[in-house]
Structures are given as C-alpha cells and as structure tokens.
Amino acid sequence: MSTEETPSTSRSEALAASSATTDPGVKKKRRKMPRAAYEAELRRLQIELVKLQAWVQHKGLRIAVIFEGRDAAGKGGSIKRIAERMNPRVCRIVALGTPTEREKTQWYFQRYVPHLPAAGEIVLFDRSWYNRAGVEKVMGFCNEDQYVEFMRSCPQFERMLVRSGLIVIKYWFSVSDTEQERRFQDRISDRTKRWKLSPMDLESRRKWVEYSRAKDVMFENTDIPEAHWWVVAADDKRRARLNCISHLLSQVPYEEVPPRVIELPPRQMDHGYIRPPMSDQRFVPDVYKPEPS
C-alpha cells in the first residue's frame, strides 16, 4: 500500500509523497533536476551562506538548526551542502551517538546543551533531542513517563533558548515509502553506502506507521510559534537541498559584510637557509603518475 493510501500516515508526508501525482496533467514521476542547473544554483546559494556566516560573526548571532526526518530522507546530504563551503569553526555539525550509561541518568536535555552555539556560531544538529519523540518512543528506549515529560518540557526548553537570543530552526525531511525503499536498496548494493544502513534503519521500515503516528504527535506538541517545524519534501534530493538552503537563508535577515582587503606580504628571503636533502624525507608513493605530455 502506498503512502497516500495509508490512513495512519501523516498528512504532510502523504502530501509530499503524492505531490507529483495530484495533477492529472503532470507525469507521475517528476523529472530529475539537471545536474548543471542544480550545481549552478547550489553554488549561488552557498555564496549566500558564506555571506550569512559573515553576518552571524559580525552580529554575534547564535543559530541552531535541527534536522529530523525519515531514514534515508536526505538530511545528511543537505547538512553536507550547507556546511561544505563554510568555516568549520563557525558552522559545526553535531551528530551525537548513543548516550552513555551516565548520560542516561542526566536531565534529558543536558547532553545537548554543551553543543549549543556561542556568539558567532551556527550549529547543525543531525538529529537532536527529538530522538525521544521518535526512535526512543517507537523502539521502547524510553518509558511512558519519560516520553510524556519530554512532550511537556520540550516546548518550554525551546522557548527558553529563544528568549535567551538563540535562533532555533527545525526541519523535518519527508520521503515516501517507495522512494525510501529505493534508497535502501541502493545502499545495500553500493559498498560505499552500506554503512549508512544500521539495524535501527531496517527496523524503522517495519514500523513505518508507528513512526508516522509518533511524528504527528510530536508536531502537535512541539510546533510552537517560537520554533516552528518546516517540512522538506525530499523525494527529489537535489530540489530538497536547494529548497532547504533557500528557506534557511530566508529565516535569518542578513546583510553582506564588506570583505576585508587581503594583501599578500612579500615572501621572506632565504638568508642562507639550506633545504635538507630530498632523500632524507619519506614521500607518499607516486601511484597516480601524470600522463606523459
């Protein structure tokens, strides 16, 4: 049964899954965005991200961007494209692993607080405290009291962050069951991608509807005016990345900071410096030799 036919599937995901078929005049499968057009627009947006980065440093802003969604929905690819042209000292990616036994006894939000941005920083959370509303709830990694307390305290926690001056932006990447299946099969067949398929990812396929219900409840309780959820229709990876970056740029009003003038100083003269013999150094083998001219 497809996503749009499943009664329990969230409305936003059903709309995303059926967006290419609602108009009878449109072909069922959307045409993939041409690579040249995608790369040209991506470069333009990445230049804007660099401008945003300079503005964040100039104004001492603090931005936390949360990425959640279905497994294989393309969160990682979007995060990579956002961060790849930015200064890693300004724009950090946080992807926490399984909590330690000690962390399990802490206040739930405690392990995330040290990773929040300071002035002049952007932090991209590749999954976040919303683990409790999704995987922990569905897989039984938390009890009902912990889950209920999270739903009650999470909006308050985020309001506190916003009141402190932090900008919180939350994205949910939505992918249809058909497209997720295709991406899972691609990961299985591609040895460079197989590591992306964890046992938890495979289990999530069996619990598709339960995840949908958990996501709906999460939205109902945590979509607050101070920090809305924004859904990214992610069946088309290229368009999803561009749409996400474009929207992110629209959420933080910024101006271009004039770049500082850089002049290369003259290189220091050798003043009798003698380079050690090349034979004293160990070089990486020249396996890939240049083609003879």
> Does residue 193 form part of some domain?
yes
Tens of pLDDT, residue by residue over 58-92, are: 999 999 999 999 888 999 999 999 999 999 999 99
Q: Does 7 score more than 60 pLDDT? A: no
> Does residue 266 form part of some domain?
no
Coil, strand or helix: which one is 266?
coil
Instruction: Compute the distance between CA of residue 178 and CA of residue 277 in angstroms, rounded to an integer.
Output: 61
pTM of the predicted structure, to 2 decimals:
0.84
Q: How many domains does the chain have?
A: 1
Instruction: Compute the distance between CA of residue 4 and CA of residue 7 in angstroms, rounded to an integer.
Output: 8
What range does the domain containing 24 cover? Answer: 3-251
Return the CATH number at 135: 3.40.50.300
pLDDT tier at 30 (50, 70, 90 boundaries)?
low
DSSP 256: P
> Does residue 261 form part of some domain?
no
Exposure string for 141-163, b = 16+ CB within 10 A, e = fewer: bbeeeebeebbeebeebbeebbe
> Does residue 108 form part of some domain?
yes
> Does residue 260 form part of some domain?
no
Instruction: Compute the distance between CA of residue 52 and CA of residue 256 in angstroms, rounded to an integer.
Output: 8
Tens of pLDDT, residue by residue over 274-290, are: 889 999 999 999 999 88
Instruction: Compute the distance between CA of residue 51 and CA of residue 34 in angstroms, rounded to an integer.
Output: 26
> Does residue 78 form part of some domain?
yes
Instruction: Compute the distance between CA of residue 292 and CA of residue 177 in angstroms, rounded to an integer.
Output: 51
Q: Are 85 and 50 in contact (CB under 8 A)?
A: yes
> Does residue 124 form part of some domain?
yes
Pick 109 or 273 by higher pLDDT.
Answer: 109
> Does residue 240 form part of some domain?
yes
